[in-house]
Amino acid sequence: MICADIDEEKVDRLCRGEVPIVEHGLERLVVEGLASGKLRFVLGAATASKDSEFHYLCVPTPQGQDGSADLSYLQAAASEIAPVLPTRSVVVNKSTVPVGSTEVVGRVLGRSDVSVVSNPEFLREGTAVADFLTPDRVVIGSSDQEAAIRVAGLYTKVRAPIMVTDPISAETIKYAANAFLASKLSFINAVANLCEAVGADINDVVLGMGYDHRIGKEFLHPGPCWGGSCFPKDTLALARIAEDAGYDFSFLREVLRVNDEQFDRTAQKVIDALGDDVKGKRVGVWGLTFKAGIDDLRQSPSLEVISRLIAAGIEVHGYDPAVKGPISEVPALNVCSDPYAAVKEAEVLVVLTEWDEFRWLDLDQVSTQMAGRAVVDARNILDGHALRRRGFSYRGAGR
């Protein structure tokens, strides 16, 4: 396998077996692949493609100005490889692209002797290796059955259903899956808000709902709501795709609105815990990444909440096991090197990302460091009883 990138430094590091992102199990695979000679990293897509049978396009499709996906990286990669593609080779698109993009790639390539197949990815950051090796399904979309079957042949060792469909359906599956998961999270966060209003416990509600196998227990943890490099842009992009096709998918706008409102609600809980006149008061935050187990801050719910606190005049100190400061999106945030330093002199401790290590920290030390006695646990991971025994007020999410 030959992997190409346009970033020379990244390619050099990968050639030395250094993985530039936090991704469980990836470094071992890269080191083993390099040692066996089965894996190589090169600069430039054309170098990788010139003698290959399959060409996977895995470039970013960031959010464009109007909410639709920006296809410029995809088009650039396709134009670069077009002249060097061997006859009968297959270009496989893994990037998340608007409906109709398989055809766009085909047009950019301008090669009638080369096929284009859509093969969307369903990998989560942090667990991408495991997700790839044991997927729930493999989706392949092409109008060329023979090319689709050849791509399906690459997955024969993977134990999962492989479905072959047309390219437009494959592209829709990717967006609909992400938007559905985002909707599930907006829904459960709204239920958590309801639990707070009526005095129910969201943990029990989720358990009781989740025993119904049609609902399932997964992806129902309430929090400061959802973020990351995929859900926000893909949900917006799907709404945009629908609008362009003449369908008003207003449901998705509501899903996005609930998410934004949840950031406000979480910030408001902190403001309420600080009492009157919050200006200049200090808050300690645990967790900055958009979820645990990664070092990615893109569209992080934590940063959304922190920005709102800073805008209210609050001094925020934060800690995250995977982040060293400063952070350009929130320059006023003081990034600390350990969790106890982050809560020093703080009036309120706020948990915004569900890193496991936060469960096991020394609450007595936290208590000694802090000036105030309030905890807002937006991920429901701390022991509320243990905190109350130490004189803290404790507010979770939905209980």
- Alpha-carbon span 30 to 330, nearest angstrom: 34
The CB-of-301 to ligand UGA minimum distance in angstroms stands at 5
The CB-of-372 to ligand UGA minimum distance in angstroms stands at 26
In the residue annotation, 15 being an active-site residue is answered as no
Q: Which of 195, 225, 230, 336 is catalytic?
A: 230
| Residues engaged in binding ligand UGA (CB under 6 A) | 96, 121-125, 178, 181, 185, 219-221, 223, 226-228, 230-231, 290-291, 301
Q: Which SS3 state, helix, strand or coil, does residue 83 take?
A: helix
Cβ nearer to ligand UGA, comparing 228 with 339: 228
Q: Provide the residue count of the chain.
A: 399
3 bridge partner residues: 41
The CB-of-49 to ligand UGA minimum distance in angstroms stands at 23
Cis omega before residue 326 (within 30°)?
Answer: yes
Cβ nearer to ligand UGA, comparing 9 with 136: 136
Residue 214: other Cβ atoms inside 10 A: 5
Helical ranges in 199-230 per DSSP H: 202-210
162 bridge partner residues: 138
Q: Residue with structure tokens 């800690």?
A: 319
Cβ nearer to ligand UGA, comparing 195 with 346: 195
Inter-CA distances, 54 with 2, 284, 329, Å: 10, 50, 39
The CB-of-292 to ligand UGA minimum distance in angstroms stands at 8
Beta strands in 157-234 (DSSP E): 162-165
Cβ nearer to ligand UGA, comparing 144 with 329: 329
* 90-93/115-118 β-pairing: parallel
- Alpha-carbon span 332 to 310, nearest angstrom: 7
The CB-of-230 to ligand UGA minimum distance in angstroms stands at 3
Cβ nearer to ligand UGA, comparing 142 with 289: 289
Q: Which residues are catalytic?
A: 230
